Chain A
């Protein structure tokens, strides 16, 4: 299985209500992008709540089925009714890291349980010393060691450490793709950068592509290669990350950038309301247009000009 991730015109629609009063929520509409093999990168999906970014991540992980379109990993469809062996094989290539480090581990059990299970089942280590070596190697990659973590309970470690153990667990089967869904939003500020720097290192030193999902534009700028901005289920702008964030072209992207609180004005002690006209344009254009090429190698959703 090669590690090309292809998202082709994927949509997801949730039905709400009963038999007599159905209503639909379009969580993701016509999303398409590709992750190439052999080029590890940090691909970031930025959006607010309700933008569909988490639903898209869940579809990539096989936790949801798309309503239309296809998701393929190495040419094979993700999801569908598959047996355990196929599921395990998938998990050897794609691994997740979730938002809440405190809930990531069973509070009544030691944290190294999942590391051990990953080593035995996904990596195929049989002997105890092989398992220990695999666990230690993964923990070293995130700046910890097996001696520190063995036998510890979740409440003995800080949020930053827990998230690093979770990343180490995800790295044990040597996946090509790591999907990180808001990995630092619940981690303390002083520990946050170590995790964000770690994601960068995963790309640079360990050849792992990171699919980074966040609402924080600043960290997105800091580590991303490519960026996709989602609004209410639609990808509105996608392309080289720094280019887009320095000069966004879609009104919603511009609105997001305008709303970021900048440290450059520290001490001004005045917050101005975001530009109303931008917000207006953004909501007017929401759900319309198609993706066309913009400047600097990006695509932007624009309403077709007559």
Chain B
């Protein structure tokens, strides 16, 4: 219940959140529509190709004979799912590493941070290219998601670790220890709520990062091109030189949608942080 009052308050008082929320809702609803698609977006040449947006085909059709509206809808769904998968998996890793490293300290901390720094310095794009060249078309959404999750956790692990380091010396941690609480319980029940604001914000940032990479790879042709994602749609549009030929809708709609999604994620991430921060939570609790 508290969640809904939070959202309602944010909508009422925070303009950035409102705009971001609206943008995200547009994108999410659009991607959910793909479940109701009357045609199978994967089929090609089912309708006349290269029709401009009209009453019958709201976003027009592609040069490959697909209705762009429904295809893009599925593309958005795939991309969002991909982003959420990467974000979710990498959060789990970064929270665990950050909490353990900050709380346990000592040698464990050193080792984990060395691993962390190695991952941070790895150049991601060339690495992904190398993986593509090895794996080829098996690089579908899921494998790519796992790869990116494994590469995307280090930045935030350090942030989480620094918060945990501060928490370790607070008096309530000492009380928890003297109450007999196990280290695991202290980390995941006492300290985790303090870490969640950072986690939420970085989750959104992580989604943006992952989607950005996916689009980049796809536009350049380095992923499995038969799965519709925003990146692959743009790839095919470029492949058929749609901009040159004047079929602007094939490029414009995906790009506009992408921009709206990015803006939405960014605005929500930025505005939510202020509200979820423990200090302002305490103020709201009626301190």
In the complex, is A directly touching B at CB under 8 Å? yes
11 A-B pairs within 8 Å (CB atoms) are namely A95-B178, A98-B174, A98-B175, A106-B172, A106-B176, A106-B190, A107-B278, A114-B181, A117-B179, A155-B286, A169-B175
Chain B residues with CB under 8 A of A107: 172, 278, 282
Q: Residue-by-residue, is A138-160 near B (CB-CB < 8 Å gives 1, otherwise 0)?
A: 00000000000000010100000
Chain A residues with CB under 8 A of B281: 108
**A96 at the binding interface (Cβ < 8 Å):** yes
**CB pair B176 A114 closer than 8 Å:** yes
Having A96-B174, A115-B179, one finds 12 other A-B pairs with CB under 8 Å, namely A91-B178, A96-B178, A103-B171, A103-B172, A106-B176, A108-B193, A108-B194, A109-B190, A117-B180, A118-B180, A121-B181, A166-B175
A96 and B179 alpha carbons, distance in the complex (Å): 10
Chain B residues with CB under 8 A of A118: 179-180
**CB pair A98 B171 closer than 8 Å:** yes
**B285 at the binding interface (Cβ < 8 Å):** yes
**B287 at the binding interface (Cβ < 8 Å):** yes
Q: Residue-by-residue, is B184-200 near A (CB-CB < 8 Å gives 1, otherwise 0)?
A: 01000110011000000
Selected from A108, A109, A114, the residue in CB contact (under 8 A) with B179 is: A114
**A105 at the binding interface (Cβ < 8 Å):** yes
Chain A residues with CB under 8 A of B174: 96, 98
**A104 at the binding interface (Cβ < 8 Å):** yes
- Which residues of A does B touch, CB under 8 Å? 84, 88, 91, 95-96, 98, 100, 103-109, 114-115, 117-118, 120-122, 153, 155, 166, 169-170
A115 and B284 alpha carbons, distance in the complex (Å): 26
**B170 at the binding interface (Cβ < 8 Å):** yes
How many residue pairs, one in A and one in B, have C-beta atoms under 8 Å apart?
A: 61
Q: Which residue on A lies nearest to B190, using beta carbons?
A: A106
Which 3 A/B pairs are nearest by Cβ-Cβ distance? A121-B180, A103-B171, A117-B179
A105 and B181 alpha carbons, distance in the complex (Å): 14
Chain A residues with CB under 8 A of B185: 117
A75 and B269 alpha carbons, distance in the complex (Å): 57
A84 and B186 alpha carbons, distance in the complex (Å): 15
**CB pair B171 A100 closer than 8 Å:** yes
A170 and B178 alpha carbons, distance in the complex (Å): 8
Selected from B178, B180, B193, B286, the residue in CB contact (under 8 A) with A109 is: B193
**CB pair A103 B170 closer than 8 Å:** yes
Q: Which residue on A lies nearest to B185, using beta carbons?
A: A117
With most chain A CB atoms within 10 A of its CB, the pick from B174, B176, B180, B193 is: B180
Q: Which residue on A lies nearest to B283, using beta carbons?
A: A155
- B198 CB to closest chain A CB (Å) equals 15
Chain A residues with CB under 8 A of B282: 107-108, 155
Selected from A91, A103, A108, the residue in CB contact (under 8 A) with B180 is: A91
Contacts A100-B171, A108-B194: A155 and B285 contacting too (C-beta < 8 A)? yes
